[in-house]
Amino acid sequence: MNAQWTIGIIGGSGLYAIDGLEGAEWRRVETPWGEPSDEILFGRIGAVELRFLPRHGRGHRIAPSDIPARANIDALKRAGCTDLLAISSVGSLREELEPGRFAIVDQFIDRTVARPASFFGTGMVAHVSLADPVCQRLSAFAAAAVQAAGGRVTEGATYLAIEGPQFSTRAESELFRQWGCDVIGMTAMPEARLAREAELPYALIGMVTDYDCWREGEAPVEVAQIVAQMAANGAIARATIAALAIHLPRERTPSPIDTALDGAVLTAPERRDPDLGKRNAAILARLDGCNA
């Protein structure tokens, strides 16, 4: 296993660059799943290699339902990433998660309906565990980095993923609160699912921009309000990435997620779809190297 950290940063709304990146170079990474959202920005901070991918593309041109999540995760895998940190704007479903606060997500409820959610399927069936969908180690490092950057942070949030692009109705917002959800967004699924299939430890920092629409007597969320808060959150988010790179342990010890596919592919080798196998060459490279 690679003892060197190579952190993939998937930046959402309000984060389109990384401050202090050395040797920065945008590179096109081709994938068998189509074009990723954008080129990947290669660089480093100190001893840590970084790979930055703007989730919506530079200029925010890709709608949530159209984000090519499989291509994005595959491209980051091909770019040598060992771990993925997603940074996303979210709405708050809790009074104590006020705009400007950062929430470290540890669970998801997925309400998306129109997005390919797996690298696998008929011809190559695989089932990975998603009971604990984020990497606790990377999440803890991310929380510490937010604090080091001067941000207010809450750990252990449940993220409700909706299809969008519209915001919730008031009835939906209240229902999601009753379900125990803490924040709401449109982009973390199937991203987190695909990261697990790609054996990439994944963590998500939610940047709270608004209170959705559940608060009585308050106007519903508007884009202008979100954009203003994103600008304020963005500076802390960029400082968080630098703090994470500086404070990571010198050596990356193995994670259980590095071997998430062990025993997960159920289709017998001789019965596998060769075309799907070729498309998954980057995802299955470790297993193929082990002759599994």
Give phi and psi for 70, each to the nearest 5.
-65, -45
For residue 212, indicate whether it is catalytic.
yes
Strands 83-92 and 183-185 turn out to be antiparallel
Residue among 74, 106, 182, 210 flagged as catalytic? 210
At 142, which amino acid appears?
A
What is Dmax (Cα atoms) for the chain? 62
- CA-based nearest residue to 28, from 53, 59, 56: 53
User: Which residues are CB-neighbours of 12 under 8 A, at least 6 positions away?
Assistant: 55, 56, 86, 87, 88, 89, 187, 207
Among 212, 262, 275, 288, the active-site one is 212
Give first-to-last CA distance, the chain, whole Å: 16
Answer yes or no: 83 catalytic: no
**Is the Cα torsion angle 277, 283, 289, 292 positive or negative in sign?**
negative
Host H or E run for residue 73: helix 69-78
Residue 2, classed as helix, strand or coil, is coil
Side chain identity at residue 230, one-letter code: M
CA-CA distance, 99 to 101, in Å (whole number)? Answer: 6
Residues annotated catalytic, as ranges: 210, 212
